[in-house]
Amino acid sequence: MKTITALLFTALVSLGVCERLKISGDHFTYKGEKVFLSGGNLPWISYAYDFGNGQWAGVKSRAEEQIKLLSEAGGNSLRLWIHIQGETSPNYDSNGNVIGLDAKGTFLDDFKDLLDLAKKYNIFAFPTLWNGAVNQDGQNHLNGLVTDAKKLQTYLDKALTPLVQAVKGHPALGGWDIINEIEGMVIPGRKTADKCYDTTALANSGAGWAGNKYNYEDVLRFVNWQAAAIKSADPESLVSVGVWNPRSNTDQFGQVNHYSDECLVKAGGKANGKLDFWQFHSYDWQGQFDDVSPFKHSYADYKVDRPILIGEFWEKGGGGLKIAELFEYIYNHGYAGAWSWDLVNEGGNQRPGIAHIKSYTKNGKIPVTIS
């Protein structure tokens, strides 16, 4: 039986009373105030074994410890991974069709509990559904969804839409990240007549490091359909994609923004399957940031109409900058947020960077009270 608090919360959500994170122009807002999203990646406690099938109970205490430490450092948001490549969720049949969120039926309660935990510590949670940075999909679970539209539809019907509907309106749900660094498996150097699918600008860029598996026609349909499903179930939700480098997500500097509204709708055909903010990742190479890196530019240089959040960076690959300098650079150059990598393994280094900017207000306040 639900507690009185849970029933009250459900009623408030249904009435639209609970405040949610929103976007206004180039920044995020909460309760009408400009907010800078500061925090880090809590990617997993047990890789691909955190949610569903009764797994959350075994990792919850460690997750709560990290969320509490993030809150105490002055952070207000985190990014965490969900399905990864389909190792334990969602639930598939023998043909690779999705038949549910998990086999034992605990996934929704697990995920709701995570959001309640985030709310307790005034942290916005951004779930990352999939991971494209490695190629360990031996069962072809993720591959089937990327390359087969019918299988992708089973995921939307049996897993994603029920999940979004179940947590719709939760005040600690900051937004959805469809996939992490799918460029790891995109085919670079592929010439086509359509700029949305042409990857000649990505030749010798590092894209494809996890295997040359996917063309952008399939990748963009994969993103467009999931974004549309989320928006259809919850029109006020915020959706993004975490790209390995701005090269694949900007029309500046001789590059192509493959995730533009035009490209996504062209590939998937769903008009509401668009992204609300850009999420760039940036690491140095041999001690230097490349010429497209956000650490070489300000927000305005990308000439976009929505916020840019720097979703992965760290001091080890920080171009010689200390963690406090990295957070300060992002805050002072017009970006909408900063999530370092990663709180579990590097938290002792990164929480001081989060704490360094917690009292800043010029580009948006940071500490929030989620209600």
Q: Which of 312, 315, 328, 346 is catalytic?
A: 312
* Percent with pLDDT over 70 in the chain: 95
Task: Taking the CA atoms of 300, 304, 310 and 316 in sequence, report the sign of the dihedral they define.
Answer: negative
Rounded CA separation 125/20 (Å)? 12
In single-letter form, the type of residue at position 348 comes to G
Joined together, the tokens standing for residue 230 give 């989320």
Whether residue 247 is predicted with pLDDT greater than 60 in this model: the reply is yes
Alpha-carbon radius of gyration of the chain: 19
pLDDT at 12: 52
> What does the pLDDT look like over 38-63, one tens digit per residue?
999 999 999 999 999 999 999 999 99
Whether residue 6 is predicted with pLDDT greater than 50 in this model: the reply is no
- Answer whether 294's CB lies under 8 Å from 335's CB: yes
Rounded CA separation 84/164 (Å)? 17
163: Cβ–Cβ under 8 A, 6 or more apart, which residues? 101, 107, 108, 111
Clarify whether 87 is annotated catalytic.
no
> What does the pLDDT look like over 140-197, one tens digit per residue?
999 999 999 999 999 999 999 999 999 999 999 999 999 999 999 999 999 999 999 9
pLDDT at 17: 54
**Taking the domains of the chain in order of start, what are their residue ranges?**
4-356
Rounded CA separation 191/25 (Å)? 34
pLDDT at 18: 80
Rounded CA separation 199/204 (Å)? 10
Rounded CA separation 335/231 (Å)? 24
- 84 in helix, strand or coil? strand
Whether residue 5 is predicted with pLDDT greater than 50 in this model: the reply is no
Q: Which of 33, 65, 87, 181 is catalytic?
A: 181
CA angle 54, 58, 62 (to 5 degrees): 140
Clarify whether 315 is annotated catalytic.
no
> What does the pLDDT look like over 190-246, one tens digit per residue?
999 999 999 999 999 999 999 999 999 999 999 999 999 999 999 999 999 999 999
Q: State how far the alpha carbon of 201 is from the alpha carbons of 161, 216, 262, 294, 338, in Å.
A: 35, 13, 18, 18, 27
> What does the pLDDT look like over 271-307, one tens digit per residue?
999 999 999 999 999 999 999 999 999 999 999 999 9
Averaged pLDDT of the chain: 95
> What does the pLDDT look like over 54-90, one tens digit per residue?
999 999 999 999 999 999 999 999 999 999 999 999 9
Superfamily for domain range 4-356: Glycosidases (3.20.20.80)
